[in-house]
Structure 1
C-alpha cells in the first residue's frame, strides 16, 4: 500500500485519472505531496497541464545565455574571464600586450625597499650573559679546562685526537734518545794541551817577530821580546772538527808571581781525532824599579848571551802559563 501511495504522489502532475492512483474514497479530499494542478485553481482533473511559467517550452524559447565560465579555459587564456567587471561589458578574453623587453625608467627610484627585522625569541638572562665578552671568556675557559681534564685522564687527545698522554710519553722518550745520541756526536769536547817539555819556548818568526822589540835594559830595568809557546792540541775525543774562536794566555813568574807575558790568538780550527801543533805567540814585557828586582834578574839571567856565562850554560827560569779558550758550540 505504501508503494502504491508513493507512486500516486509522484504521478500527481499527470493527473489523478490513472487506474493506479490510490484513492480510498471519491469523497475523500486528499492531496498528494507532489505537484498538484488543483492547487492553482484549475477546474476539474483534465490530465496534464502546462507549467505556470508561460505558454512556451523553457529550453526551446529561452533567450541565448552567456557561455559558462571554465577554469581551465580561463587559465589557458582560451575562454571568458571569471569576472568581467574591470574590463567593461565585454565577455571575451582580452589579450595582455606582449612586453617589448625595455625597462620602464619612469618609475626608477620611486620605490623604496625597507627591510624590517623579524622579531626574535626572548633571551634568557643566562643567554644574554653568554653573549658578552666576559661570558665568552668564561665559556672558553670552561672548554679549555674540560679538554685538559679529558686529555689528562687519557679520554681525549690533541691534534686530531691521536696525541694522547701515552703517545706523548713515547714521543718524548724517543726524542730524548735521539737528542742524546745526536749531542754525543756533535757537542765539541775541550781538547787536551801538551807542552814541549824540552823547549817550551820557541824563537818568534815572521811578522810577529818584527812587531815586538827585543830589549834587556838595566837602567831603567826592563825587558821585552817575542816568543812562541810550543803546544800540541789533542782532539781525539771529538767527532767533528774543533773551532776555537779565541785563545788568550798569560805567563807568570813562579818565584814572584808577577805577570811577564800575554797572548791573544783568534779563530783556529783543528781536525777531529788528531794531534795538531800550535805555536802560541807570547809578548814578553816587564818593567822593574831597578836591576835588583828578582823577576827582572831571573829572566835576564835565563836569556843572557851564552858567551857571557862561565861554561856556556844559562840557568833556567820557572813560569806558569794560563790559557783561556772560547770553543764554538760550548760558549
Structure 2
C-alpha cells in the first residue's frame, strides 16, 4: 500500500524523486513564535526564491536535451517547389501581335476572310478579301502626355453624402409633405393671431384687418342703402280709377255685352299713381301685371300687363296699366254679369240719369330691377264708374 501512495513519476521541475509519503507522514507540530528556532542548514538568499534553490534551471536542461515548447521549422508542412506566378507563354501578347483582322460574319456575307481561316487553320480562298482594319479612334487627353498606359477619361464624381435618416425619408412621402404644410399653416395662424405677422408680409395684421373689414362693411352698407331699390306705393285716381282705352289697344278688343251666352268684354286703363319718394336712384320696372276681382263674387273679371319702364326717384309718377275685361257666365242671372252690365248701361235708361257704381279689387305683381323676387301690392276701389257706355238699344 505504501508503494501505491508513492509517486513513480519524477518531479515536474526535474528534481530527484522524494521518498517521503506526504499523505501518511506525521509532521511535527509547529513551534510557537516565542520558541527558539532551529538553525538553518544554509543561509537565506533574499534576492531569489528558496523554493527552487536546490534544483537546476529548466532552461538549462531543455537547452541541453533539445526539448522546447516553441515552434521550429518542422512545425509546418513543406509545400514543395514554388512555381512562378505567370507562365512563360502569354496568350494576350500573342493575340495583340496578331494584326490580321477578320470578320465574324464572313461566313454569311462573303465580305472578308472566313472565321475558319482567320488564324491559319484552313486554306485561304482567293474569292474572299480581308476587310480593312477599323479606323483608329482619337485618344482622349490625359494629364500625363508621356504616359504609355491606355488613356482614361477623367470624370468628376460628386462625393457621397450622409445617409438619409428616418425623418428625412418621412418628409419625402405624401403624408410627410401634408404634415409639414399643416405645421406651417398652424404656425402662421398662431403668429398672425398674436399680431407678429400679417397676411401679406407686414400688411394685413390682425388689428389692421379688423379696421379694414369694418370700413368695408360701412362702405357696403352705404352703397346698398343707396343702390337697392325700394318697393313703391300705389294709389288710384279718386275721380276716375278706370279710364277708357284709346288707340290701337282700344281697337284690338271689342266692347260688348251678350245675353246668350252671358258674357262681356271691353278694354280699359287703370289710372295709378306711383310713390317713389323712398328711392334715391331711379326705379326701373321690368314688368307689372294686374288682375281685377269682383268684390261680390271674388271672381276675376280683368287682367293686364305693363311692360318695361323707368320712373324718377323722389316723385309721384302716374302710369296707366291696360286692362282687358272679359267674363263668361252661365246665364244672365249671374250676379257678377248683372253688376257690370248695370254699371255700364247707358245713363238714359235710368230715370235719374246716374248709373250705379262698381266695386273691385286690383292686385299688382311687380318685377323691379335690383330685387331678387317679385313683389305684390293690392288696393280696393268702391263705387267706381264703368269706363264704357253701352248704346240705348244694347239691352
TM-score range, shorter chain: 0.5 to 0.7
Query: Are 2:193 and 1:193 aligned?
Result: no
Q: Deviations over 1:25-77 (max 9, x none)?
A: xxxxxxxxxxxxxxxxxxxxxxxxxxxxxxxxxxxxxxxxxxxxxxxxxxxxx
Query: Are 2:175 and 1:144 aligned?
Result: no
- SS across alignment from 1:161: coil
- SS across alignment from 1:312: coil
Aligned to 1:285: 326
Alpha-carbon distance in 2 for matches of 1:152, 1:221: 80
Q: CA deviation at 1:120?
A: 2.1
Q: How many residues are matched?
A: 227
Aligned to 1:212: 253
Aligned ranges 1:157-236 → 2 under 5 Å: 157-236=198-277
Aligned to 2:307: 266
Query: Are 2:391 and 1:323 aligned?
Result: no
Q: CA deviation at 1:115?
A: 6.8
Alpha-carbon distance in 1 for matches of 2:351, 2:367: 45
Alpha-carbon distance in 2 for matches of 1:130, 1:177: 47
Aligned to 2:288: 247
Alpha-carbon distance in 2 for matches of 1:112, 1:262: 100
Aligned to 1:297: 338
Aligned to 1:74: none
- SS across alignment from 2:261: coil
Alpha-carbon distance in 1 for matches of 2:301, 2:232: 26
Aligned ranges 1:23-62 → 2 under 5 Å: none
Q: CA deviation at 1:111?
A: 9.1
Which of 113, 118, 121 lines up with 2:162 in the alignment?
121
Alpha-carbon distance in 2 for matches of 1:164, 1:227: 66
Aligned to 1:41: none
Q: CA deviation at 1:108?
A: 9.2
C-alpha change, 1:112 and 1:202, in structure 2 (3 Å) is: farther
Q: Quick one: higher RCO (CA 8 Å, sep 6+), 1 or 2?
A: 1
Aligned to 2:56: none
Q: CA deviation at 1:241?
A: 0.8
Q: What runs of 5+ residues in structure 1 fail to find an aligned partner?
A: 1-104
Which of 138, 141, 165 lines up with 1:107 in the alignment?
138
Q: CA deviation at 1:204?
A: 0.5
C-alpha change, 1:124 and 1:255, in structure 2 (3 Å) is: same
- SS across alignment from 1:199: coil
TM-score, with length taken from structure 2: 0.55
Q: Deviations over 1:174-222 (max 9, x none)?
A: 1111112222222111112121111100001111112222111011000
Q: CA deviation at 1:122?
A: 0.5
Q: Deviations over 1:64-112 (max 9, x none)?
A: xxxxxxxxxxxxxxxxxxxxxxxxxxxxxxxxxxxxxxxxx97399998
Q: CA deviation at 1:294?
A: 0.4
Q: What runs of 5+ residues in structure 2 fail to find an aligned partner?
A: 1-135, 141-150, 373-395
